[in-house]
Amino acid sequence: MNTTMAKEDLEQILDQAVQDVTECTAGVRLHQGDQSPGEDLCTVQITFDKGFRTSLTLCADTKLLCRMASNSFHEESVSPEDLEEFSKEYFNVLCGRIAGAMFQVTQVPAHFGPPAFYRGRYEPEGSEIQFMLTYSNERYGGAQFIHHVPCSQEAGAASNED
């Protein structure tokens, strides 16, 4: 059986999770807006390998991720290794929250692989953007949270595997 979730409902789940997890784990408030991240970027990405045929990507200003890591580790500065470790752990928590919220709505158990970290912008192959949520923090820059679907999937809804 194929279960669908309206794009608007999924956007709301993702937005709520991003804002809650970012504030709770990293002490940074993000606000939706139109400001795209700059050129010094990092990307964290996961793919759901059970339940939903989607992937999630966070592309953020390095300065923003550094501030989040610094707050989380209670350190003034962070190494590149700390930045990568924090980014992957933060995204793992965020995607776990999203998978739980999606289960509440669809009753479809989902599983995703470990987050991958990239310097710069990364786009998963064989996928297209269904929608993107853009965030900013007036002091540390912006981020884009992107929901990808397989190129052949209709852009109207996220669906689960049979």
Looking at the chain, the whole-number percentage of residues with pLDDT higher than 90 is 58
Q: Are 43 and 139 in contact (CB under 8 A)?
A: no
Q: Report residue 154's pLDDT band, with 50, 70 and 90 as the boundaries.
A: very low
How far apart CA 135 and CA 137 sit, in angstroms, is 7
pLDDT at 159 over 80: no
Top mean pLDDT of 27-31, 49-53, 64-68 is at 64-68
pTM of the model: 0.86
Mean per-residue pLDDT over the chain, rounded: 87
Would you state the structure tokens that stand for residue 73, as one six-digit string? 């580790």
How far apart CA 77 and CA 51 sit, in angstroms, is 38
Q: Are 146 and 45 in contact (CB under 8 A)?
A: no
Q: Give 20-49 pLDDT, tens digit per residue.
A: 999 998 989 998 987 778 889 999 999 998
Please state, as a whole number, how many other Cβ atoms lie within 10 Å of the Cβ of residue 29: 11
